[in-house]
């Protein structure tokens, strides 16, 4: 069983799409898509074991070696900077990390900028690179209402279509970086299962023509 | 199975086996104080694995620190003497905050430093000791070797400007070819230069040899010299019987501000992180006003707790349950007999609830 390739997939629609790519790459485990409450699935014939985990936890499973490889969003990788290999941009789940504010917002540099976000490290790094003094307000959800209620001047958050922003009278003020799903690997796992991870990399890369 | 021997990978036993390995190679033990002046670490913060440091003010009003690192102290306290090489090993406790946590931990670190008028033999000897250290910890270990001169040379050949180099090194460290290609193209790199750059992050790997794309680019400058030095080192390591455990892996990118030349990292099966890290750190020597050269490595023993975790499934291998009227000397003698094969024997008069043991031996009065 130790030779099994352990793969952490993010629960949800993105994870199901990603599984399809892994299956096409030669790492099938059909029971993964059966509807049940199981979270771990094995296909000993293909030498593969899949786990469904919370998307924000995939990087932790991989960094700590519980999974050899996994798929995590660039937003999570940028925020937590796990010590993992980032092998491939899968081109799925595209969105962007952005600064958003109320329509017509003007950044008054004489004042400390109040920034509400779930991504405190990302926000700190971004504003530090611009020499801007900020006050981070760490929130866990409904970030969009912070500027409306006067809790913050701006928010730093993931923007997909922009619909939620528009419906709350907000707009993208600055874009920070594009986001998509990335194939990541544990560094020690790569040393000992390098051939299988390379085969997975090749199988996935060959499906990306026209996506990236 | 005998449990005492099965769990030898952890704790003092491992330290003594590694210490013996270094002493047999002529390295002498270096002892030091638990404290250093905080300024030493403040000036070299980037050299440290964690920049959180436990500080306190001593009776003279000086700001002191509990050591987060050993190498800096050894370098600070040494002297440059032309023609001489100082070979030392250490076994010290250091105090660090681990990534992702806010708590300090005391960990035992064992390591080797070779400082002074070092030559190619010194470099080979230190890498051999690193490989032997991995073998001491576990079979099947891998020593990943890189050369920062090659990384710098390829970046020079691609015309990567200074401000983009941290981003390039980060991508190489992550084997992140998609972002590396974007940065290089933005810097105008193409053709052989771009191919050489991307070979640094090859996922397929080149085993224990330098990729042809890099050799094709090398000239008489830094890149050519670095390729020559690494090839010679790899050849010597293969001839010395380490061929099965060495890999050329440019994702080993120690801080280029302190390290130069050969850098390396060691892994063993069953541990999800590198347990050994080292390299040539001549740039640190220059920063600390030393004219000598230096190479060394550290073994992070805290990571070894992952090894053999299944072998300690019991609180004791054998419980010797003695009766009230048993002769204490007879109980002791019986316990010694049972532990002769290395089993951990716990002698008790009553069996506590929840105790996990492999075998129960009962002893009545007089037997």
pLDDT tens, residue by residue, B171-224: 999 999 999 999 999 998 888 888 999 999 887 665 788 888 888 887 778 889
In this structure, the answer to whether residues A130 and A85 fall within a common structural domain is no
- Residue found under tokens 């090894």: B307
Tell me whether residue A156 is in a domain.
Answer: yes
Tell me whether residue A69 is in a domain.
Answer: yes
Tell me whether residue A211 is in a domain.
Answer: no
Q: How far apart are CA A145 and CA A151, in angstroms?
A: 8
Which residues of chain B does A63 touch, with a Cβ-Cβ cutoff of 8 Å?
272
Yes or no, beta carbons of B142 and A89 under 8 Å apart:
no
3-class secondary structure, B180: helix
Residues 6 or more apart whose Cβ sits within 8 Å of residue B60: none
Q: How far is A211 from chain B (nearest CA, A)?
A: 13
Q: How far is B350 from chain A (nearest CA, A)?
A: 40
Which residues of chain B does A80 touch, with a Cβ-Cβ cutoff of 8 Å?
100
Tell me whether residue A84 is in a domain.
Answer: yes
Q: Which among B26, B113, B122 is positioned nearest to B78, based on CA atoms? A: B113
Yes or no, beta carbons of A197 and B203 under 8 Å apart:
yes
pLDDT in tens, B303-358: 777 665 555 678 899 999 999 899 999 999 999 999 998 899 999 999 999 999 99
Q: How far apart are CA B365 and CA B316, in angstroms?
A: 23
What is the number of other CB atoms lying within 10 angstroms of the CB of residue A54?
12
Q: For residue B237, give the H/E element and its range.
A: helix B222-237
Q: Which of B141, B179, B203 should one mutate to test binding to chain A, selecting the residue with the greatest count of A CBs within 10 A?
A: B203
Output DSSP code: residue B323. -
A21 phi, psi to nearest 5 deg = -70, -40
Yes or no, beta carbons of B271 and A192 under 8 Å apart:
no
Cβ pairs bridging A and B (under 8 Å): 55
Which residue pairs from B16-20 have beta carbons closer than 8 angstroms and sit at least 24 positions apart in sequence? Answer: B17/B136, B18/B91, B18/B110, B18/B133, B18/B136, B18/B299, B19/B89, B19/B91, B19/B110
Instruction: Tell me whether B365 touches chain A (CB under 8 Å).
Output: no
pLDDT, mean over chain B = 88
In this structure, the answer to whether residues A129 and A114 fall within a common structural domain is yes
Structural domain of A105: 95-177
pLDDT recorded at residue B218:
78
Output DSSP code: residue A206. T
Widest distance between CA atoms in chain B: 89
User: Is 60 exceeded by the pLDDT of residue A171?
Assistant: yes
With contact defined as beta carbons under 8 Å apart, do A187 and B173 qualify? Answer: no
Token readout for B111 is 């390591």
With contact defined as beta carbons under 8 Å apart, do B136 and B243 qualify? Answer: no
Yes or no, beta carbons of B205 and A186 under 8 Å apart:
no
Q: How far apart are CA A75 and CA A81, in angstroms?
A: 10
Tell me whether residue A185 is in a domain.
Answer: yes
Ordered by start, the domain boundaries in chain B are 3-309, 314-363
- Please state the ipTM of this predicted complex: 0.88
- Residue found under tokens 């390396």: B264
pLDDT recorded at residue B5:
45
With contact defined as beta carbons under 8 Å apart, do A151 and A137 qualify? Answer: yes
In this structure, the answer to whether residues A46 and A69 fall within a common structural domain is yes
In this structure, the answer to whether residues A172 and A185 fall within a common structural domain is no
- What's the CATH superfamily of B3-309? Bira Bifunctional Protein; Domain 2 (3.30.930.10)
Q: Which of B177, B203, B273 sits opposite A198 (nearest CB)?
A: B203
Q: Which of B100, B178, B267 sits opposite A88 (nearest CB)?
A: B178
Q: What ranges in B273-345 are assigned the alpha helix state H?
A: 282-287, 328-338
Instruction: Tell me whether A89 touches chain B (CB under 8 Å).
Output: yes
Q: Which of A87, A89, A212 sits opposite B175 (nearest CB)?
A: A87
Yes or no, beta carbons of A84 and B174 under 8 Å apart:
yes
In this structure, the answer to whether residues A51 and A86 fall within a common structural domain is yes
User: Is 90 exceeded by the pLDDT of residue B256?
Assistant: no
Q: How far is the first Cα of chain A from the last one, in angstroms, to the nearest whole number?
A: 35
With contact defined as beta carbons under 8 Å apart, do B284 and B44 qualify? Answer: yes
pLDDT tier at A210 (50, 70, 90 boundaries)?
Answer: low
Question: CATH no. for residue A134?
Answer: 3.40.190.10
In this structure, the answer to whether residues A71 and A122 fall within a common structural domain is no
pLDDT recorded at residue B213:
87
Instruction: Tell me whether B309 touches chain A (CB under 8 Å).
Output: no
């Amino acid at each position: 069983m130790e030779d099994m390739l352990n793969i952490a997939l993010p629960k949800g629609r993105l994870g199901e799409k990603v599984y399809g790519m892994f299956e096409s790459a030669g790492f099938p485990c059909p029971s993964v898509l059966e509807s049940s409450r199981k979270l771990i699935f094995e296909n000993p014939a293909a030498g593969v074991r899949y786990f469904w985990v919370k998307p924000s936890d995939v990087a932790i499973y991989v960094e700590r070696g519980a999974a050899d490889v996994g798929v995590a969003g660039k937003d999570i990788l940028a925020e937590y900077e796990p010590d993992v290999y980032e092998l491939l941009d899968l081109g799925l789940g595209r969105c962007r990390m952005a600064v958003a504010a109320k329509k017509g917002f003007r950044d008054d540099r004489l004042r400390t900028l109040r920034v509400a976000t779930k991504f405190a490290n990302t926000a700190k790094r971004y504003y530090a690179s611009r020499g801007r003094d900020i006050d981070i307000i760490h929130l866990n959800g409904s970030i969009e209402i912070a500027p409306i209620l006067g809790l913050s001047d701006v928010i730093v958050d993931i923007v997909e279509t922009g619909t939620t922003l528009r419906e709350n009278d907000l707009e993208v003020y600055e874009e920070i970086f594009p986001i998509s799903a990335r194939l990541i690997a544990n560094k020690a796992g790569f040393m000992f299962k390098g051939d299988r991870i390379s085969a997975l990399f090749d199988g996935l890369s060959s499906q990306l023509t026209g996506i990236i | 199975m005998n449990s005492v021997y099965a769990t030898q990978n952890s704790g003092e036993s491992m330290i003594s086996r590694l210490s013996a390995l270094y002493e047999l190679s002529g390295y002498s033990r270096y002892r030091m104080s638990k404290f250093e002046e905080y300024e030493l670490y403040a000036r070299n913060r980037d050299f440290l694995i964690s920049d959180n440091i436990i500080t306190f003010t001593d009776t003279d009003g000086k700001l002191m620190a509990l050591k987060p690192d050993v190498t800096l102290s050894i370098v600070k306290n040494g002297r440059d003497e032309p023609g001489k090489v100082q070979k030392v090993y250490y076994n010290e406790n250091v105090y660090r905050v681990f990534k992702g946590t806010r708590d300090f931990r005391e960990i035992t670190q064992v390591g080797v430093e070779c400082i002074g008028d070092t030559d190619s033999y010194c470099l080979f000897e230190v890498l051999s000791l690193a490989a032997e250290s991995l073998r001491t910890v576990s079979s099947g270990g891998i020593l990943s070797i890189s050369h920062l001169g090659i990384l710098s040379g390829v970046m020079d050949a691609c015309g990567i400007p200074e401000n983009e180099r941290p981003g390039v090194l980060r991508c190489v460290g992550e084997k992140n070819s998609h972002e590396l290609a974007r940065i290089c193209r933005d810097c105008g790199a193409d053709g052989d230069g771009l191919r050489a750059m991307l070979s640094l992050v090859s996922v397929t790997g080149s085993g224990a040899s330098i990729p042809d794309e890099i050799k094709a680019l090398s000239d008489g400058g830094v890149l050519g010299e670095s390729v020559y030095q690494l090839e010679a080192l790899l050849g010597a390591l293969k001839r010395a019987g380490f061929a099965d455990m060495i890999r050329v892996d440019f994702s080993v990118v120690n801080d280029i501000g302190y390290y130069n030349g050969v850098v390396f990292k060691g892994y063993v099966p069953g541990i999800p992180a590198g347990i050994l890290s080292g390299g040539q750190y001549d740039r640190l020597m220059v920063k600390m006003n030393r004219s000598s050269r230096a190479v060394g490595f550290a073994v992070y023993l805290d990571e070894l707790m992952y090894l053999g975790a299944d072998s300690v499934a019991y609180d004791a291998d054998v419980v010797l349950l003695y009766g009230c009227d048993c002769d204490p000397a007879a109980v002791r003698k019986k316990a010694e007999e049972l532990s002769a094969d290395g089993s951990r024997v716990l002698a008790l008069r009553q069996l506590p609830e929840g105790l996990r043991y492999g075998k129960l031996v009962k002893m009545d009065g007089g037997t």
